[in-house]
Amino acid sequence: MPASDHSPAAQIPGGAVFPHGSLTGIAGLQPHEIVFLLDEAEQWVDWNRRHAKSQHPLDGLTQINAFFENSTRTLLSFEIAGKRLGADVVNMHAAQSSVKKGETLIDTAMTLNAMRADVIVIRHASSGAVQLIADKVDCPVLNAGDGAHEHPTQALLDALTIRRRRGGVAGQRVVICGDLLHSRVARSNILALTALAAEVRVCAPTTLMPPAIERMGVTPFTDFDAAIEACDVVMMLRLQNERMAGAYIPSTREYHLRYGLTLERLARARPDALVMHPGPMNRGVEIASNVADHPDHSAITEQVEMGVAVRMACLDVLTRRARGVEGWA
């Protein structure tokens, strides 16, 4: 296990190391707080690999996963994370909820609050929706993705994957390629990776590039062959189906021609470059199968594994105050 860059836990007593009630984004976090969460996640990686799982710090706590937007992987990851920690996990899907009956988001939040949840995990299609709920409820709130704003646990699991595979994040040259315009994964990753002193490049056709993205401390490219040059990490983004045919790009085959990650393209990166993808992948569109499944380069399944550990760490840390953990009360 690589040592963390610095370990403030040893210096700052108790909850001062992570003085946040909720995790709504990477934007509000200091670099040492990101490192703290990564360090916390490390222990759960090893623990998850053991078969007999004996620790249940969240025993008796109720975790509500309120997903206003469809998700399979993230929801499952949060559910497994909560259950491994011993929490009673309840999933609320928007399709089954009164949201469809016209109830406002605030009313739904107040309802969840009145049910005395101990931690609420939220995904919503609108940017800022999670913050809106976090301001109205008494328990910690975890952002599982809000619109095109943030997806902080994805950025943390990506940073953890990079740190474990590359020995650290600082100084790594990372290219993030794909639909940056609509991507919360890209925004959270840009914030986390730049905070941890990586060199971040972003690559997309102009139609999918957010305006003024360079103001976030990244270098924009439209030519993937130039962007991937000598990169340590190649992070591909998913192209949403509804954006494929004509609206932002002419076709998926044209997209593949310009931005698909093939073995030939990957050869321009560092020989030991890491390939990442938040999933689910469109094989043959943004990533070729032989790259996605490459035994040396691909870290895609490891990302999924890190996801559970990171979410366990976040659930654990955010509930410490309520659980009266020594030094956090």
Partner 1 sequence: MKRAFTNARLVCPTRGIVTGTLITEGDRIVSVGQTGLPSDTDVVECKGLTLAPAIVDLGVFAIDLPAFHAGGIARVGLMPDQSPVLDDPGIVQRAALIGKPTLWIHPIAAATKGLAGTDLAEMAINRQAGAKAVATGRGWIADSGVMRKVLGYARDLGLTVISHAEDGGLTGRTVATAGEAATRMGLASAPSLAEPLAIARDLMLAEETGARLHVRQVTTAAGFDLIRAAKRRGVAVTCGITPAHLLLSDIAMTDFRSFAHLSPPLRGEDDRQAALAAIADGTIDVLASGHDPRGPEEKRLPFADAAPGAADAEHLLALALTLVRDERLTIDRLFALLSANPAKVLGVEGGTLSEGAPADLVAFDAGAPWQIATEAMTAKTGNTPFDGLPVQGKVHRLFKGGTEVFST
Binding residue numbers:
73-74, 101, 123, 151, 154, 184, 238, 279-280
State in angstroms the smallest separation of the CB of 18 from partner 1.
21
246 binds partner 1 (CB under 8 A): no
Task: State which residue, 129 or 273, has the beta carbon closest to partner 1.
Answer: 129
Sign of CA dihedral 39, 44, 50, 52: positive
DSSP 8-class letter at 207: G
Q: What does the chain come to in residues?
A: 329
104 binds partner 1 (CB under 8 A): yes
Task: State which residue, 46 or 138, has the beta carbon closest to partner 1.
Answer: 138
Residue positions forming the annotated binding site for carbamoyl phosphate: 73-74, 123, 151, 154, 279-280
CA–chain centroid gap for 114, Å, is 28
Residue positions forming the annotated binding site for L-aspartate: 101, 184, 238
98 binds partner 1 (CB under 8 A): no
187 binds partner 1 (CB under 8 A): yes
Task: State which residue, 20 or 294, has the beta carbon closest to partner 1.
Answer: 20
State in angstroms the smallest separation of the CB of 131 from partner 1.
6
Q: At what angle do helices 152-166 and 184-195 cross, to 10 degrees?
A: 50
Task: State which residue, 216 or 325, has the beta carbon closest to partner 1.
Answer: 216
For 120, residues 6+ apart whose C-beta sits below 8 A from its C-beta are 63, 64, 66, 112, 133, 137, 139, 140, 141, 142
Beta bridge pairs of residue 236: 177
Q: At what angle do helices 31-49 and 300-323 cross, to 10 degrees?
A: 110
Q: At what angle do helices 73-84 and 300-323 cross, to 10 degrees?
A: 50
Task: State which residue, 61 or 203, has the beta carbon closest to partner 1.
Answer: 203
129 binds partner 1 (CB under 8 A): yes
31 binds partner 1 (CB under 8 A): no
Q: At what angle do helices 184-195 and 31-49 cross, to 10 degrees?
A: 110
Among 111, 126, 219, 222, binds partner 1 (CB under 8 A): 126
Long-range interactions of 241-246: CB distance < 8 A, separation 24+? 243/179, 243/182, 243/208, 244/285
Task: State which residue, 63 or 131, has the beta carbon closest to partner 1.
Answer: 131
17/13 Cα distance (integer angstroms): 7
Helix and strand counts by DSSP (H, E) for the chain: 11, 9
Q: Mark 272-301 with x for binding to partner 1 (rule: CB under 8 A) and - for no binding.
A: ------------------------------
Among 32, 123, 164, 184, binds partner 1 (CB under 8 A): 184
What letters, b where the CB count within 10 A reaches 16 and e where it falls short, cover 279-316? bebbeebbbbeebbeeeebbbbebbbbbbbbbbbbbbb
Q: Which stretch binds partner 1 (CB under 8 A): 42-50, 81-89, 128-136, 253-261?
A: 128-136
State in angstroms the smallest separation of the CB of 66 from partner 1.
14
State in angstroms the smallest separation of the CB of 216 from partner 1.
7
Among 1, 27, 245, 329, binds partner 1 (CB under 8 A): 27
Q: How far is CA 267 from CA 228, 259, 293, 297, in A?
A: 9, 14, 16, 11
Task: State which residue, 216 or 281, has the beta carbon closest to partner 1.
Answer: 216
Residue 107 near residue 81 (C-beta atoms within 8 A): no
Q: Which stretch binds partner 1 (CB under 8 A): 194-202, 213-221, 266-274, 299-307?
A: 213-221
211 binds partner 1 (CB under 8 A): yes
Residues lying near partner 1 in the complex (CB under 8 A): 27, 104-106, 124, 126-129, 131-132, 146-150, 184, 187, 210-213, 215-216
